[in-house]
Amino acid sequence: MIWLLSLTSFLVLLWWGLYLLVHRWPRKPIDERPDWGRCIDTFIPAADGGYLEVWRVIPEGSNKGTVVLAHGWSRNRGRMVRRARLFGELGYTTILHSARDHGASSRHPLMNAVRFGEDIEAVLEWVGEPVLLYGHSAGSAGAILAAHRHPKQVQALFLEASYADTETALMSLYRWVHPLFGRCCGPVIIATTKLLHGRNRLREFSPEVLAKDLDLPVMLIHGERDRRFPLDYARHLKAAFGNDFTRMFVSPTAGHSDSSLDPDYPPAVKAFVAELEARTV
């Protein structure tokens, strides 16, 4: 009996330790700041009583609207500066924030895609007007959730390095860290997540499930060499939207985070925005 209790305690501690590890490590902030327009640096309230650091960058001249940009796991608002600059050149105000537990935003012990979505919702409430919403990686999953909860405010989605099914994506991510880690520890982390949040929670908030309820313009952006979330994940997500205004840009040379460096990326985004503007006139 003592041996069984000891083994059980060890497994519980292992599960909890691995769960905390993947939710707290690593953090790799990007030190890049907006260098166009008028930049307002401020803090806004977060869902749990904390706060989010936010840049609002207002372009010179006429203003066509607002674009909210959400970074992915381990990064911060600096990650989205290059992408925001393109929208600034097109005449849009851009809003860039750091999710909780990232950048200089308030700490949170257990961040995940749902909480990324909560932070985007906090930004949407602060903005208080219709927006175009751009999310990268975990930020893209949060963007879909925020759009699902605020369909009248989100006019279009830009989803970079996204995925369709959450559990499949997490297992792929763990295998990317290391094949042995993925095979041995991945199932333990998934089991812990289901134990803490409910066995159907991962599926309930999977992007492809939420996408079926969304009827809005969507642009998916993906690197063909993405080893964390393979290109097929984005193709499955694209099919889940099922409307005639879903476009996809694939960079043949990009991995998970560098599609925006492809020289064909700016023309593709501009063409989508031009089509969006033409349809909303």
Per-residue pLDDT of the chain (281 residues; tens, 9 = 90+): 676 666 556 656 665 566 566 656 667 889 999 999 999 999 999 998 999 999 999 999 889 999 999 999 999 999 999 999 999 999 999 999 999 999 999 999 888 899 999 999 999 999 999 999 999 999 999 999 999 999 999 999 999 999 999 999 999 998 998 888 888 878 887 887 787 777 777 899 999 999 999 999 999 999 999 999 999 999 999 999 988 899 999 999 999 999 999 999 999 999 999 999 998 86
Give strand ranges (E) for 46-138.
Answer: 51-58, 66-70, 93-97, 131-136
Indicate whether 189 belongs to any domain.
no
| Three-state DSSP class for residue 223 | strand
209: tokens are: 């499930």
Cβ-Cβ contacts under 8 Å for 117 (sequence gap 6 or more): 141, 142, 143, 144, 145, 146, 149
Query: Residues 49, 76: contact at Cβ < 8 Å?
Result: no
Total domains, the chain:
1
Query: Which residue has tokens 């749902």?
Result: 114
- Among the listed residues 83, 150, 153, 139, the one whose alpha carbon sits nearest the alpha carbon of residue 111: 139
The letter for the amino acid at 148 is H
* Bridge partners for 158 per DSSP: 134, 219
Indicate whether 72 belongs to any domain.
yes
Indicate whether 195 belongs to any domain.
no
pLDDT reported for residue 8: 59
Residue 62, phi then psi, degrees to nearest 5 = -70, 155
Full domain range(s) for residue 73:
30-179+200-280
Its pTM stands at: 0.92
Query: Which residue has tokens 């060890």?
Result: 10
Indicate whether 5 belongs to any domain.
no
pLDDT reported for residue 279: 86
Indicate whether 137 belongs to any domain.
yes
Indicate whether 218 belongs to any domain.
yes
Rounded Cα gap, residues 22 and 174, in angstroms: 9
92: tokens are: 């849009």
Query: Residues 249, 259: contact at Cβ < 8 Å?
Result: yes
| Three-state DSSP class for residue 42 | strand
pLDDT reported for residue 228: 95
Indicate whether 14 belongs to any domain.
no
pLDDT reported for residue 15: 59
pLDDT reported for residue 281: 66
pLDDT reported for residue 24: 61
Q: What is the domain-level CATH number for residue 237? A: 3.40.50.1820
Enumerate the H helices of the chain as residue ranges: 2-24, 81-89, 113-127, 138-149, 166-177, 179-184, 186-197, 201-204, 207-211, 231-241, 265-280
Indicate whether 13 belongs to any domain.
no
